[in-house]
């Protein structure tokens, strides 16, 4: 911060984890490794806090007794800053003023670029300049005028802090506590409504802290798979809950534990009971209907489950994202019904309906095309499956798409074509860099399928 004060610059603190944090790597590639990011040094001092993985941190702790104290102390300091700045996870970029007070938070988002990142942090810098102008105005006033300018200063940066859930706390109340206390004192009679405003903010934080305490215990049951114990604890604390947010988090957790304990009928009854409550928001109603469909499917009541999803599809025609979500789910649920009955007609129709609503060559289109090809393959409509799988290979030649194509080609006795597809798939599998466990698992699964298809082809 000394360098920032001397240069009169704001600070970008990048909380990251090289070598173990996937999204940190994506942020590094998309933003910090790009040449455009060099211009950021004009207005910002860049600080990187590189955290070790949990395993590495344990190793450093063990090394401490034999001479690794300097590294351990550095990580301890990083953890202190992480706590002070309310950074629950990596990657997180905190933009601060030259004295270290936060003015905005950002991180990795899908599609982020160096340009979009720089535009965002420039907004934070503009907010800081506006904050400072209001603070200067406050210094020239007293009483309610001063309170109003102090409040305006805080409002310049508050929108860029995220919610309580994002930060696991409130940066405004943590870092600007002196200004908040002064505003409440100056507006003691609440003539400006500011005393009530910040009292409400403090109350929201207190409720959040209490909620997190309760949910830390609720989540502890999940780690031990103690589902019945979790349900009993929720029953114990629910009568004492008056905050609506906490109530809905708890009943959502109860729904989750019913499902984890395979009490699917109880989960359905629970969700239907909640649906009768008059204060439900649209999102809450949709969530409960979604869980009813899921639990009906788990009970093998596929027709009822599909009917529930049809209602959600119709209810979300005004929201493309949710509409596609339920168009995607319906074929999956009907797929299970088809596996049980042997009749794939409804599953095929559902896949076709989903595919018709997708933008050509989009991610949804790819999923719908693959799902429809699976239904055709299982229905022994191989020519139709072949056409779709050729489309998928043309769109994105992956080991998975080539192996699926080979499977259909074998079914049609297109032996030469199938052999070519298997050879192409094998070449791509060999290119997989099996660094992470998921990469190794993927390569192993693909190789197993490749061997099975070669045997099926008689190779």
DSSP letters for 221-287: HHHTT-HHHHHHHHHHHGGG---HHHHHHHHHHHHHHHHHTT-HHHHHHHHHHHHT-TT--HHHHHH
CA dist 444 and 423 (Å) reads 16
Q: How confident is the model at residue 377 (pLDDT cuts 50, 70, 90)?
A: very high
Cα dist from 244 to 212, 248, 250, 288, whole Å: 14, 6, 10, 16
C-beta atoms surrounding 52 within 10 Å = 17
Question: Which pLDDT score, from 0 to 100, does residue 46 have?
Answer: 93
Residue 60 has pLDDT above 80, yes or no: no
Residue 57 has pLDDT above 60, yes or no: no
Mean pLDDT of 97-109: 95
Question: Which pLDDT score, from 0 to 100, does residue 341 have?
Answer: 84
Residue 217's closest CA among 176, 255, 253?
253
Asked if residues 420 and 409 have their Cβ atoms less than 8 Å apart, the reply is no
pLDDT tens-digit series, residues 312-343: 988 888 888 888 888 888 888 888 888 888 88
Question: Which pLDDT score, from 0 to 100, does residue 55 have?
Answer: 53
- In the chain, the percentage of residues whose pLDDT exceeds 90 is 68
Mean pLDDT of the chain: 91
pLDDT tens-digit series, residues 262-284: 999 999 999 999 999 999 999 99
Mean pLDDT of 252-261: 95
Whether the predicted model's global pTM rises above the 0.75 cut: no
Q: How confident is the model at residue 441 (pLDDT cuts 50, 70, 90)?
A: confident
User: What are the chain's domains?
Assistant: 2-140 (3.40.30.10), 380-459 (no CATH)
pLDDT tens-digit series, residues 167-206: 989 999 999 999 999 999 999 999 999 999 999 999 999 9
Mean pLDDT of 288-300: 93
**Packing angle of the helix pair 244-260, 282-298 (nearest 10 deg):** 10
**Packing angle of the helix pair 320-341, 282-298 (nearest 10 deg):** 10
Question: Which pLDDT score, from 0 to 100, does residue 56 have?
Answer: 56
């Amino acid at each position: 911060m000394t360098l920032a004060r001397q240069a009169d610059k704001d600070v970008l603190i990048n909380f990251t984890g090289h070598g173990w944090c996937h999204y940190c790597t994506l942020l590094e590639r998309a933003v910090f490794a790009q040449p455009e990011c060099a211009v950021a040094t004009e207005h910002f001092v860049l600080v990187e806090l590189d955290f070790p993985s949990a395993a590495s941190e344990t190793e450093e702790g063990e090394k401490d007794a034999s001479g690794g104290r300097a590294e351990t102390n550095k990580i301890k300091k990083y953890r202190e800053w992480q706590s002070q700045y309310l950074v629950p996870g990596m990657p997180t970029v905190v933009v601060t003023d030259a004295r270290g007070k936060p003015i905005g938070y950002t991180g990795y988002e899908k599609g982020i670029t160096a340009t979009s990142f720089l535009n965002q942090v420039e907004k934070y810098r503009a907010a800081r300049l506006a904050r400072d102008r209001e603070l200067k105005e406050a210094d020239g006033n007293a009483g309610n005028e001063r309170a109003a300018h102090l409040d305006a200063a805080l409002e310049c940066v508050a929108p860029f802090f995220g919610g309580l859930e994002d930060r696991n706390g409130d940066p405004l109340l943590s870092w600007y506590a002196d200004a908040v206390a002064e505003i409440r004192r100056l507006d003691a009679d609440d003539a400006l409504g500011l005393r009530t405003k910040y009292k409400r903010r403090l109350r929201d934080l207190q409720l959040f802290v209490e909620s997190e305490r309760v949910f830390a215990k609720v989540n502890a049951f999940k780690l031990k798979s103690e589902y019945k114990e979790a349900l009993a604890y929720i029953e114990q604390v629910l009568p004492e809950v008056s905050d609506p947010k906490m109530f809905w988090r708890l009943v959502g957790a109860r729904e989750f534990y019913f499902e984890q304990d395979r009490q699917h009928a109880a989960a359905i009854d629970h969700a239907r009971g909640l649906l009768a409550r008059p204060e439900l928001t649209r999102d809450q109603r949709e969530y409960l209907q979604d869980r009813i469909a899921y639990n009906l499917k788990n009970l093998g009541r596929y027709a009822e489950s599909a009917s529930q999803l049809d209602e959600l599809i119709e209810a979300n025609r005004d929201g493309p994202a949710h509409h596609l979500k339920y168009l995607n789910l319906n074929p999956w649920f009907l797929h299970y019904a088809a596996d049980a009955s042997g009749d794939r007609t409804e599953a095929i129709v559902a896949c076709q309906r989903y595919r018709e609503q997708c933008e050509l060559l989009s991610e949804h289109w790819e999923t719908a095309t693959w799902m429809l090809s699976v239904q055709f393959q299982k229905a022994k409509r191989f020519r139709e499956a072949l056409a779709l799988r050729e489309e998928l290979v043309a769109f994105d030649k992956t080991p998975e798409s080539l192996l699926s194509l080979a499977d259909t080609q074998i079914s049609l006795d297109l032996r030469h074509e199938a052999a070519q597809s298997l050879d192409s798939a094998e070449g791509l599998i060999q290119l997989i860099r099996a660094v992470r466990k998921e990469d190794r698992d993927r390569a192993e699964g693909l190789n197993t399928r490749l061997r099975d298809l070669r045997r099926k082809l008689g190779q």
